[in-house]
Amino acid sequence: MVKENLMEVRKHMEEACLRSGRNIDDVTLIAVSKTKPVEMLMEAYEAGARDFGENKVQEILEKRPQIPQDARFHMIGHLQRNKVRQVIDKVVLIHSVDSLRLAEQIQAEAQKRQLHTDILLEVNVAREESKYGFFLEEVEEALKEISQFSHLTVKGLMTIAPFVEDPEENRDIFKKLSQLFIDIKSKNIDNGTMSVLSMGMTGDYQVAIEEGSTMIRVGTGIFGAR
């Protein structure tokens, strides 16, 4: 079933790219495997998936050694500062940097271990109280500070859009983040390091792609309900 689901998602990705004149190679599919067993990750791996998203450090530590080494793990969930040490050398990208203090902790650990960590800044575009992240108007300021850190690079922005019935309701959220991404690049606040816009989940990834997403995070649509 995982294989069929993946094929279905890829087909919808292609359609969304066609509709918006984008190249499918510019959009990376992250298979969000949180709570799912290693056997299911392997099914996805065998069907070509290489990027996996997890939201708990413990699950990354457990699953990663059981999956072939060319698989890439992405930390997409809220990261506590005391867990940074355990995860920074296990993931290719931390999508969920939601505060300056967390960025500082990542910088400190990366420096201590002589590593370099790629991160995204999580943006709470819809200003939901239940969600983490910077507000849109805080991003520039945060980026100015964080882009001076020596052992991490801000690769882009990430958002978790509200849960909605009709994905069109989230189009405006994606547009806003996309516009901020373009503004930041044109003002060169990021020193040219930003290339990733991580937005879109099972319910709304096609709209997100139409609005410029370069990484979609799909869980339910590949692995079924959690």
Minimum CB distance to ligand PLP, residue 150 (Å) = 27
Residue with tokens 């997409």: 76
Q: How many CB atoms are closer than 10 A to CB 4?
A: 10
Q: Which is nearer to ligand PLP, 55 or 107 (CB)?
A: 55
Question: What's the rounded Cα separation, in Å, for the pair 130 and 80?
Answer: 16
Minimum CB distance to ligand PLP, residue 18 (Å) = 22
Q: Which is nearer to ligand PLP, 149 or 223 (CB)?
A: 223
Contact with ligand PLP (CB under 6 A): which of 76, 93, 157, 197? 76
Contact with ligand PLP (CB under 6 A): which of 17, 32, 184, 194? 32
Under 8 Å between Cβ of 211 and 192: no
User: Does 91 contact ligand PLP by CB under 6 A?
Assistant: no
User: Does 167 contact ligand PLP by CB under 6 A?
Assistant: no
Residue with tokens 């056997």: 39
Query: Taking CB positions, which residue lies at the least distance from ligand PLP?
Result: 219
Write the DSSP symbol of residue 122: E
Show the site string, 196-215: x = touches ligand PLP by CB under 6 A, - = not.
-----xxx------------
User: Does 176 contact ligand PLP by CB under 6 A?
Assistant: no
44: left (phi over 0), alpha (psi -120 to 50) or beta: alpha
Question: What's the rounded Cα separation, in Å, for the pair 102 and 26?
Answer: 29
